[in-house]
Amino acid sequence: MSSGIHSVQHEDRIFPPPADFAARMGTLHVPDLATYQSMHERSIRDPEGFWGDVAKDFHWFKPWSKVLEWNLPDAKWFVGGQTNACFNAVDRQVEAGHGDEVAIIWEGEPNAAGPHGHEVRHITYRQLRDEVARCAAALESLGVKKGDVVTLYMGMVPELAVAVLACARIGAPHSVIFGGFAAQAIVDRVQDAQSTVIVTCDGAHRRGTVVPLKANVDAACERLPDVRHVLVLRRTGTDVPMKAGRDVWWHDVVAKQPTTRACEPVDAEHPLFLLYTSGSTGKPKGILHTTGGYMVFTAATARWTFNLVPNSGQVYFCTADLGWITGHSYIVYGLLPNRVPTLMYEGAPNWPGDDRFWSIVARHKVTHFYTAPTAIRSFMRWGDRHPAKHDLSSLRVLGTVGEPINPEAWIWYHEKIGGGRCPIVDTMWQTETGGHIITPLPGATPTVPGSCTLPMFGVDAAVVDDHGHEQPANTGGLLVIRKPWPGMLRGIHGDRQRFIDTYFSRVKGMYLAGDGARRDQRGYFWIMGRIDDVLNVSGHRLGTAEVESSLVGSKLVVEAAVVGMPHEIKGTGIAAFCVLHPDHAANADENMRKRLMEHVARDIGAIARPDMIRFTNGLPKTRSGKIMRRLLRDIAAGKETTQDTTTLEDFNVLAKLRESDEA
Ligand code: PRX
């Protein structure tokens, strides 16, 4: 398989939408390619007309006066309008008489309880509204006001979705931190957001063990004197200390609130959330999304990409965590307005067995399954017998996200999971784009394994050179978006200059995605990977600088350089070249490697644990002092380097790196 991961260049198998797909779905929002093309053409020619029509399907407390105001790099959508994302996701369904429909299906990781040996909850829109209203009132009772950032650091429990929506309800932007991150990541994000209230759980279930979320928050709070309250949900029953005056239990504070707190009308451009993601420097950046545009874009793209049909028996299961943008957009905000139950699963895909996802699909009659290529590669390795044990015939549409999918994995997914009858939507997008920017539409777009195919409505995607000129077919270039779209980020929290520099500087007048890409003769897009120092590890973004600063922070290492290397399951693995501190230089052994790997895992989180560590006496640098990363990438990949090394300051360095033993 290893040869396949990057061999997307010569794929020419085409999979048209299956002939009986339309009949199976009942309704197709975009029935064929010609319809897609004419809708896309209109959306680019007349974005205001197009998005104005789409937005009419939502509830607005006050209508907008102008659909779009664009002063590069600042977009304002639905200017003057007032709405509420929680209202459109939840209350509106109740008010329209759909309160008894299931909004969220949740399955807990432990599989001891429940009628079928699983802990399952079905939450209707009415129940969800009541709990969200209570949680909103509880947050207010803790002093949260409109505009205050609330930090959410929880496991995949329904109360996380409740807390997200409660924040939206009162106009308090949320900042969700992935539960797999460690204390330092909490400190960085809480400080940057100036957040004073944190919502967490005593712990989270993961592979039969408990992740100590509250303990991590406590450790972080030692460095966060401004945190006033920590609201704690009891999930695992773990014994956790509660700090008097600061910590309060969810079951004490939320349960006693009335359900009367209504949705706060907010301006369309009112901040909805911050979500921290990695960039090319050490500091994660808080991507800002606002209310109206994001709400419209996520719900509409979810409807088109997955062909969602309200209350039609569809059940949608996205395996992402709410700590990532995929969870925000395509578990909560994009799904609930569509009245298709969204399934949240608490635990790991291989607990208690390697067939857990397929068991979930079969038991809940899941129609839509959305996961990452790295997960698919793991499923392949675990073996065909696991999906084969379960009835997967309910599936209609499969999706992938997070990284390019290698054709082998695509074909396996298509055959073994989709039974050859389910279109695969390979959805390309980013934290910054809010929602899908390039993706097939299941009833309309012929798919080619490894290509994310064609742009979403309203997205003027192109592959250009540094001057913004479009590249000819099959020529690599920079992926850009030439016009604003409703789901685009509105800024980086507290760092205007970084916003401009990162996204709007290299190619004049266009949004730079940070990915290399090409278009083929059909106009289909092929993503070729990041052009910056961001790694895509198992579909998660990680800045090389973050891992480097953690290694140096161990005090065992004086200098570190981190690069990506090919990895069969993760897509990209993490390779770290370290210069040990003189006091430890004699201990350059396996033990030291393990110590450093553990240090990074504890410091940032398990996803950042290096796969390979090499010790060296010095790092290869150019005369100007820049680390020669390409050379290190070649070495990490075990390739003979072709790079001109004449600029190496110290040829010995290269020689030593080559000689040094492998982890
Ligand atoms: O490199 C692209 C890759 O993931 C990056 C965005 O990461 P993040 O903001 O964490 O969001 C991931 C989930 C939306 C992109 O710049 N990426 C994402 N989806 C795809 C992809 N690369 C190729 N194909 C995709 N479908």
Higher pLDDT among residues 2 and 558, named by residue? 558
Lookup: tokens for 402: 């997070």
pLDDT single digits (tens) 315-345: 999 999 999 999 999 999 999 999 999 999 9
Ligand 1 pocket, 541 CB below 6 A? yes
Using the mean position of ligand 1's atoms as its centre, give its distance from the Cα of residue 657 in Å.
32
Q: Which residue has a Cα nearest atom 24 of ligand 1?
A: 404
Q: Is the CB of 430 under 6 A from ligand 1?
A: yes
Please name the residue whose Cα sits nearest to atom 4 of ligand 1.
402
User: Does the beta carbon of 530 sit less than 6 angstroms from any atom of ligand 1?
Assistant: yes
Q: Is the CB of 525 under 6 A from ligand 1?
A: no
> Parallel, antiparallel, or unpaired for β 247-249 and 271-277?
unpaired
Q: Which has more pLDDT, 625 or 658?
A: 625
pLDDT score at 24: 93
Ligand 1 contact via 512 beta carbon (within 6 Å): no
The stretch 591-619 carries a mean pLDDT of 94
Which of the four pLDDT bands, split at 50, 70 and 90, describes residue 621? confident
**Closest CA to ligand 1's atom 7:** 430
pLDDT score of 348: 94
Ligand 1 site, residue 402, Cβ cutoff 6 A: yes
Tell me how far the alpha carbon of residue 165 lies from the centroid of ligand 1, in angstroms: 25
pTM above 0.85, yes or no: yes
Protein residue with least CA distance to atom 26, ligand 1: 428
Query: pLDDT at position 340, please?
Result: 98
Q: Is the CB of 327 under 6 A from ligand 1?
A: no
Distance 397 CA to ligand 1 centre (A): 20
Q: Which of 274, 429, 463 to mutate to test the pocket of ligand 1 (most atoms within 8 A of CB)?
A: 429
Is residue 246 a contact partner of residue 183, using CB atoms and an 8 Å limit?
no
CA-nearest residue for atom 11, ligand 1, is 430
Counting other chains too, the contacts that 53-62 makes at CB distance below 8 Å and 24 or more residues apart are 54/296, 54/300, 55/292, 55/296, 58/83, 58/88, 58/295, 58/296, 58/299, 58/337, 59/83, 59/84, 59/87, 59/88, 59/92, 61/265, 62/265
Q: How far apart are CA 5 and CA 79, in angstroms?
A: 44
* Ligand 1 pocket, residue 326 CB under 6 Å: yes
Q: pLDDT band at 622, cuts 50/70/90? A: confident
CB of 427 sitting under 6 A from ligand 1: yes
Q: Determine the Cα–Cα distance for residues 13 and 117; give it in Å rounded to an integer.
A: 42
CB 428 near ligand 1, within 6 Å: yes
3-state SS, one letter per residue, for 71-124: ECCEEEEEECCEECHHHHHHHHHHHHHHCCCEEEEEECCCCCCCCCCCCEEEEE
321 lines ligand 1 (CB under 6 A): no
Q: pLDDT, tens digit, for every residue of 124-168?
A: 999 999 999 999 999 999 999 999 999 999 999 999 999 999 999
Q: Ligand 1 centre from 69 Cα, in Å?
A: 27
Q: What is the pLDDT of residues 18-72, one digit of tens each?
A: 999 999 999 999 999 999 999 999 999 999 999 999 999 999 999 999 999 999 9
Q: Which of 273, 280, 403 to mutate to test the pocket of ligand 1 (most atoms within 8 A of CB)?
A: 403
What is the Å distance from ligand 1's center to 85 Cα? 24
Q: Which residues have C-beta within 8 Å of that of residue 398, sequence separation ≥ 6?
A: 368, 369, 370, 413, 414, 417, 418, 422, 423, 424, 425
What are the tokens at 15? 């999979």
Q: Which pLDDT value is given to residue 116?
A: 62
- What pLDDT is recorded for position 108? 96
Mutational pocket test of ligand 1: of 428, 453, 525, 542, the residue with most ligand atoms within 8 Å of the beta carbon: 428
Atom of ligand 1 nearest to the CA of 530: 1
